[in-house]
Amino acid sequence: MDAEITLHVDGRERTFTVDTRTTLLDALRDRLGNTSPKKGCDHGQCGACTVLVEGRRINSCLALAVAHDGATLTTAAGLADETDLHPMQRAFLDQDGFQCGYCTPGQICSAVGMLQEANAGHPSAVSTGDGPTGTPLNDEEIRERMSGNLCRCGAYVNIVAAINQAQQAAPQVRQES
Amino acid sequence: MNPFSSRPLAEIPDGSVAGVVMPHDAAWDHVTGKALYTDDLSHRFAHVLHAWPVQVFVAHARIDSLDAAAARTMPGVARVLTAADVPGINDYGELGDEPLFPDEVQFHGQAVAWVLADTLEQARLASEAIEVSYTELPSIITTQEAIAAGQFQGPRATLQRGDADAALATAPHRLSGGIDIQGQEHFYLETQASFATVDESGQVFIQSSTQAPSHTQEVAAQVLGIPSNQVTVQCLRMGGGFGGKETNANPYAAVAALGAVLTGRPVNVRLNRTQDLTMTGKRGGFHATWEAGLDDEGHIVAYKAVVTADGGFSVDLSPAVVSRALCHVDNAYYLPNVHVVGRIARTNKTSHTAFRGFGAPSGMIITEDLLGQAATKLGIGEEEIRRRNFYAPGQTTPYGQVVSQAGRMNDMWDKLKDTSDYDSRLLEVAAYNEAHRHSKRGLAITPVKFGVSFNKPVLNQAGALVLIYRDGSVLVNHGGTEMGQGLHMKMMQVAATALGLPLRRIRLAPTRTDKVPNTSATSASTGTDLNGGAVKNACEIILDRLAPVAAGLLGVNSHDVRITGDVVGALGTEQTVGWGELVETAYLQRVSLSATGYYRTEGIHFDPATYQGNAFKYYSRGVAVAEVEVDGFTGAYTTRRVDLLHDVGSSLSPLIDLGQIEGAFVQGAGWLTQEDLRWDTTEGPQRGKLLTQAASTYKLPSFSELPQVFNVDLYVHPTDDGSIYGSKAVGEPPLMLSIAVREALRAAAAAFGEPGQQVELPSPATAEAVYWALDQVRRPADTAAVAAD
């Protein structure tokens, strides 16, 4: 069965018809030609397909495109504006937060979404609950909150450094518990 | 003498960008998602056909018939590819032992045919409509089964020196043991992918995620039955390779090419994750038995081993893998009397292949295992027994090569012991273990000595093509492929250094076989050494031609011309001209502005019959200290701290090298502690099936397992000779630094028992494996306490 949907992707409105079984990842890559989210496993296990939907990070391979009709999406290709990189992109570049680069667009979207979650007060499995949440996160928090994004090259050290740089650069938000 | 091309390989000109901190070459494209991988290309073409394999899910069977009649008429199906469609040779293997469309299934999930259709779903549905009938044959799954059945393949190798039997007979201390070292799935995040088109002249163009474009070209030409000049292979970049795309990209490139030739349409072959895991080769497991004799001081005086590699169903690169394993059983240690036999088991599994380290890690683990156990038995500290066995200057390896820079190992060892506070932490660990009954810590230090060069001497050559345009811009082509190791940036740094230009002048072209022919795979950590030598050579050939032009402009002798930072000057004059002016003047004077460069590694030879020779150009070294904490109830552990010191010579690109060291360590630690490949070894209907078919069951290293404290340093020393700008290879060697984690786990497990008890630790040392290891040695009173708790 086909359905017509509209997605707002990286600042552009796109209306098109999809088979209702189409994942958001396939819709982005195959239908809209946005190949910045990558297909690493197609099972929600590697995080290479991570995009931001209404600012929240999701594995786009596990989402159906029709379930997000009308949604606003941001991919790594849309994070930068015309003139400059997003601070998270700049940080990955400065800290050499990648090797082969295949997981990188997903890592960056995930990191942006992760800091927003922390700023919104969402705890993680390692949050102690007896202090304020929000950014800046310590390394243990970053590692735990990013653990759904695999990097087979093992660039984790530099990715943590990049996220640290980005959260230092951005306005810090503290949620009082 | 030519003014520029006579410069020594290791001499770094003043003001160069060799050794400057740089990001990866496509860094901007990676962070914005603009960097294209092979599977991103098909979206740019119309009328693309998508391929789906017809996999047969049985470990071993003879195909009786394959009926594709129904599939051929299904919607969207353009072609079903079978053996009958192959115009050339139906094989992609090293020894003609890997049919592209086989009539015998040799592992569970082998593809016997492919379907091409307008959409992937149509191809998949049609593949399921193909009826394959077969007769099941007896199968061998494990290495032990193959050994019992005497089922081997490829050559049998023997590494020998002195008289190991005699030395063993008279040794004051004798030990023996055996170990099964499990394999490893590459899990490059980008699965195997190839995209093929055919132009109006019949030229086949394959874009492939391959580490070896020339080899991929040869295989495709062989399958198509056409000369190599009719096939071009390009690799933009890979989303990880790790050895898994050294030969394993070839069949998929051949399928894409065959489909494109037969249909005239672009063909995209991209394995999904399950197909990739079930169809492609991995790091093969190793089974080893060993005997060793030691003197009272802990020196290994006799070393005997039989090493059996699981080759899977075909030979592939296994002979070279075994060769590298045998040439690395010594690691950093002098073995006076050695007898090691290496052989390759043939099993009904995917054909195992290259994986970072290429047999060397398994060879080293056998000896580190031996030393770990000997330390306990002889009551000598683990650090002490290792150091006592180090090569002394002038000593030779079992294959007869003098160990260059032997003293560097001791220096690095002492430096890292110092910076990691090894001695005081050893006391702290002992105090912790004294105070904690159900939690123990372990601290270990291990060395790595890794020979750099392909074990097969012929492969140690490379080419490059450098083009200078009239505006002064430079385009560099070389034979190496980029898979995240930063080779392209290093080649740009080499070109800029050789030419005396800023990096902005240099652009790197994608790796293509019609630019640089007959290239070796980008593997064996040789990418920078070989291709760097060739790029430098090409640049200097052009400079030799430009020197007289510059000399004329400046009124000096050609030999006095110097180019630095875009400025052309000369000794003894203040006068200069710009690079652009020089290039334009050369053009007007009809001087050629392009050149091919070539490099061959000098001084290496190896005789596989006697296992003797100067196998390696030089040795790369590293030292690792690791500390772990193990829970006695579950075997679960954390890596508390890791310190690494690694020798990359004069680093060409320090940021990239540090990343390689960290990443290799993480990948090695994954292999040794978490990644647990399992096959169905039962006699049931799924015999031979890979049970760990996804990241949900095959545990890859994530952020969570990073050492809590992770210190990584480059070893600083005077510039090395004999390699490109004094740098050393970095791709593989640091993977073996992770052996320190394994030895730390052994030490922690041992701490649950009485002093002097040997701990046998399987590989991978998963939490479960560590639990059983420590439970073997646990004091009876503690076992009771565990039960009571």
The full set of domains in chain A, from first to last, is: 2-78 (3.10.20.30), 87-175 (1.10.150.120)
Q: How far is CA A38 from the centre of its chain?
A: 12
- How many angstroms separate the Cα of B548 from the Cα of each of B349, B472, B571, B590, B591? 61, 17, 14, 13, 10
Q: Which of B189, B237, B701 sits opposite A40 (nearest CB)?
A: B189
Q: Helices marked H in B280-402 — which ranges?
A: 318-326, 360-378, 382-388
Model pLDDT, residue A132:
59
**Contact (CB<8Å) A98/B30:** yes
- Find residues 80-99 of chain A whose CB sits inside 8 Å of chain B: 80, 85, 89-90, 92-94, 96, 98-99
3-state helix, strand, coil in chain A (%, to 5): 35, 20, 45
Q: How far apart are CA B531 and CA B525, in angstroms?
A: 11
Q: How far apart are CA B475 and CA B492, in angstroms?
A: 9
Quick check: B42 and B193 in contact, CB under 8 A? no
Q: State the smallest CA–CA distance between residue B668 and chain A in angstroms.
A: 10
Q: Of B203, B173, B209, B170, nearest to B189 (Cα)?
A: B209
Q: Which of B237, B656, B710 sits opposite A157 (nearest CB)?
A: B710
Residues of A in contact with B241 (CB under 8 A): 100
Quick check: B439 and B565 in contact, CB under 8 A? no
Model pLDDT, residue A175:
47
Q: Of A132, A131, A113, nearest to A56 (Cα)?
A: A113
| pTM, rounded to two decimals | 0.97
Residue A177: which pLDDT band, with cuts at 50, 70 and 90? very low
CA dihedral (A110, A113, A115, A117) positive or negative: negative
Residues of A in contact with B239 (CB under 8 A): 38, 40, 100-102
Q: How far apart are CA B99 and CA B112, in angstroms?
A: 9
Does residue A110 sit at the B interface (CB-CB below 8 Å)? no
Residues of B in contact with A23 (CB under 8 A): none
3-state helix, strand, coil in chain B (%, to 5): 35, 25, 40
Strands A2-9 and A72-74: parallel
Residues of B in contact with A61 (CB under 8 A): none
For an interface test with A, give the residue of B32, B276, B711 to mutate (most A CBs within 10 A).
B32
Q: Which of A99, A154, A159 sits opposite B485 (nearest CB)?
A: A99
Q: How far apart are CA B138 and CA B688, in angstroms?
A: 11
CA dihedral (B372, B373, B376, B380) positive or negative: negative
- Find residues 15-54 of chain A whose CB sits inside 8 Å of chain B: 29-30, 33, 35-43, 45-46, 48
Provide the strand spans (E) within B647-688: none
Quick check: B452 and B526 in contact, CB under 8 A? yes
- How many angstroms separate the Cα of A15 from the Cα of each of A3, A18, A30, B119, B721? 10, 10, 14, 21, 62
For residue A125, count other CB atoms closer than 10 A to its CB: 9
For residue A173, count other CB atoms closer than 10 A to its CB: 17
E strand or H helix that includes residue B442: strand B439-452
* Size of chain B, expressed as the number of residues it contains: 789
Cβ contacts of residue B69 below 8 Å, gap of 6+?
Answer: none
Active site residues of B: 732
Residues of A in contact with B485 (CB under 8 A): 99
Indicate the SS3 state at residue B240.
coil
**Contact (CB<8Å) B26/A101:** yes
**Contact (CB<8Å) A104/B31:** yes
Strands B193-198 and B231-235: unpaired
- Output the CA angle B92-B286-B367, nearest 5 degrees: 135
Question: What secondary structure does DSSP assign to B458-515, as a single string?
Answer: GG-EEEEEEEE-TTS-EEEEES---SSS-HHHHHHHHHHHHHT--GGGEEEPPEETTT
Q: How far apart are CA B36 and CA B151, in angstroms?
A: 44
Strands B561-564 and B567-570: antiparallel
**Contact (CB<8Å) A101/B239:** yes
Query: What are B625's strand-pairing partners?
Result: B445, B643
Residues of B in contact with A41 (CB under 8 A): 273, 694-695
Q: How far apart are CA B67 and CA B65, in angstroms?
A: 6
**Which chain A residue shows the shortest CA-CA distance from B277?**
A41
**Contact (CB<8Å) B33/A75:** yes
Residues of B in contact with A31 (CB under 8 A): none
Q: How far is CA B80 from the centre of its chain?
A: 35
Question: What secondary structure does DSSP assign to B87-154, as a single string?
Answer: SS-S--STTS---SS-SEE-STTEEEEEEEESSHHHHHHHHHT-EEEEEE-----SHHHHHHHT-EEE
Question: What secondary structure does DSSP assign to B377-423, as a single string?
Answer: HHT--HHHHHHHTBPPTT-B-TTS-B-TTHHHHHHHHHHHHHHTTHH
- Find residues 120-139 of chain A whose CB sits inside 8 Å of chain B: none
Q: State the smallest CA–CA distance between residue B670 and chain A in angstroms.
A: 10
Q: State the smallest CA–CA distance between residue A1 and chain B in angstroms.
A: 14
Number of DSSP helices (H) and strands (E) in chain B, helices first? 20, 29
Residues of B in contact with A161 (CB under 8 A): none
List pLDDT tens digits, range B365-395.
Answer: 999 999 999 999 999 999 999 999 999 999 9
- List, as own/partner pairs, every contact residues A16-21 make where C-beta atoms lie below 8 angstroms and the sequence separation is at least 24, other chains included: A18/A65, A18/A66, A20/A64, A20/A66, A21/A64
Q: What is the mean pLDDT of chain A?
A: 93
Q: How far apart are CA B91 and CA B222, in angstroms?
A: 8
Q: Which of B27, B665, B666 sits opposite A93 (nearest CB)?
A: B27
Q: How far apart are CA B402 and CA B658, in angstroms?
A: 29
**Contact (CB<8Å) A155/B240:** no
**Crossing angle of the two packed helices B318-326 and B360-378, in degrees rounded to 10:** 30
**Contact (CB<8Å) B273/A142:** no
Residues of B in contact with A99 (CB under 8 A): 24, 240, 484-486, 659-660, 663
Strand order in the sheet with B231-235: B77-81, B110-117, B49-56, B267-270, B193-198, B204-208, B231-235, B511-512
- Per DSSP, A112 falls in state H
List pLDDT tens digits, range B480-526.
Answer: 999 999 999 999 999 999 999 999 999 999 999 999 999 999 999 99
For residue B596, count other CB atoms closer than 10 A to its CB: 16
Locate B137 and state its tokens: 């044959």
- Find residues 36-75 of chain B whose CB sits inside 8 Å of chain A: 36-37, 39-40, 43-44
Does residue B703 sit at the A interface (CB-CB below 8 Å)? yes
Q: How far apart are CA B179 and CA B370, in angstroms?
A: 10
Model pLDDT, residue A176:
42
* Size of chain A, expressed as the number of residues it contains: 177
Q: How far apart are CA B500 and CA B114, in angstroms?
A: 51
Does residue B567 sit at the A interface (CB-CB below 8 Å)? no
- How many angstroms separate the Cα of B285 from the Cα of each of B309, B350, B361? 6, 12, 11
Quick check: B223 and B253 in contact, CB under 8 A? no
**Which chain A residue shows the shortest CA-CA distance from B188?**
A152
- How many angstroms separate the Cα of B275 from the Cα of each of B55, B96, B109, B202, B278? 9, 23, 8, 31, 5
Cα-trace Rg, chain A: 16
Q: State the smallest CA–CA distance between residue A166 and chain B in angstroms.
A: 13
Q: To which residue do tokens 């070839």 refer?
A: B250
Identify the segments of chain B with pLDDT beneath 70: 787-789
Q: What average pLDDT does this structure show over A84-99?
A: 95
Q: How far apart are CA B627 and CA B427, in angstroms?
A: 12
Strands B173-181 and B439-452: unpaired
> Chains A, B: CB contacts under 8 A, how many?
168
Residues of A in contact with B39 (CB under 8 A): 39
- Per DSSP, B705 falls in state G
Locate B44 and state its tokens: 């740019």
Quick check: B642 and B710 in contact, CB under 8 A? yes
Locate B494 and state its tokens: 């080499």
List pLDDT tens digits, range A152-165.
Answer: 999 999 999 999 99
Q: To which residue do tokens 């391959």 refer?
A: B210
**Contact (CB<8Å) B273/A41:** yes
